[in-house]
Chain A
Amino acid sequence: GAVVSQHPSWVICKSGTSVKIECRSLDFQATTMFWYRQFPKQSLMLMATSNEGSKATYEQGVEKDKFLINHASLTLSTLTVTSAHPEDSSFYICSAVYRVRDQPQHFGDGTRLSIL
């Protein structure tokens, strides 16, 4: 089945640091990748949709300058949390899909981000 790799799985860093999270589709070409955020005991909230070679589309309320997304190739998207603060601590999950309309999204294992 489709495999999506996300790295790192856990990050602890100081306030003010920028953190980059990678999402790779290992055995298929992902034309679209999605970034989600999940708080404890809550469902996934879509942050942004990323299509290869174009700018990401951000959901309402998500700061573009805070959460930088790059989708430079069909197998890699990155999310950079710039100048992270404790309120950015969360579980970040990416997903990837070849054809959004008729194929399921496959998820990476997630990144737990803790800002001290």
Chain B
Amino acid sequence: EDKVVQSPLSLVVHEGDTVTLNCSYEVTNFRSLLWYKQEKKAPTFLFMLTSSGIEKKSGRLSSILDKKELFSILNITATQTGDSAVYLCAVVGVGETSGSRLTFGEGTQLTVNP
């Protein structure tokens, strides 16, 4: 069974701090790892990672994948109150009978205080 574990589950920081969110996984026939941000509604897409060691960057957010050690990190620098959300890590694997599927971690609840 595919498994995605995120840590920490909850994090409270002050504006301006830098945070690192962790995601480790076990999946059959790994295809890609995705990061999403979920506020009050459905998740919004942040990054899709398929290759090891190549950093993806978007503004203050960046992410990298290590396929040997089976983990990814999401960094947020100079955090703002608007970064407060649940950050979800998900992995796409291809099962023999189930086809391609997305397995989510529990998420990290990030709270940025002013």
Contacts and interface: CB of A to CB of B under 8 A. Distances in A.
Contact of A46 (B36, B94, B102): B102
Contact of B45 (A6, A46, A104, A108): A104
B100 interface: yes
Given A6-B42, A44-B43, A110-B42, A102 B31 contact: yes
Interface string A22-39: 000000000010100000
Contact of B41 (A32, A43, A102, A109): A109
B87 to A, nearest CB: 11
**B contact residues, range:** 20 to 34
Nearest to A34: B102
7 contacts: A43-B107, A46-B103, A100-B100, A101-B92, A104-B32, A107-B45, A108-B42
Contacts of A110: 41-42
Interface of B: 31-32, 34, 36, 41-45, 48, 50, 88, 92, 94, 98-107
B92 to A, nearest CB: 7
B88 A44 contact: yes
Given A6-B42, A101-B94, A104-B45, A43 B88 contact: yes
Contacts of B102: 34, 46, 95, 105
Interface in A74-113: 93, 95, 100-110
Contact of A101 (B41, B100, B107): B100
A85 to B, nearest CB: 24
A100 B88 contact: no
A106 B44 CA distance: 7
Contacts of A104: 32, 34, 45, 48
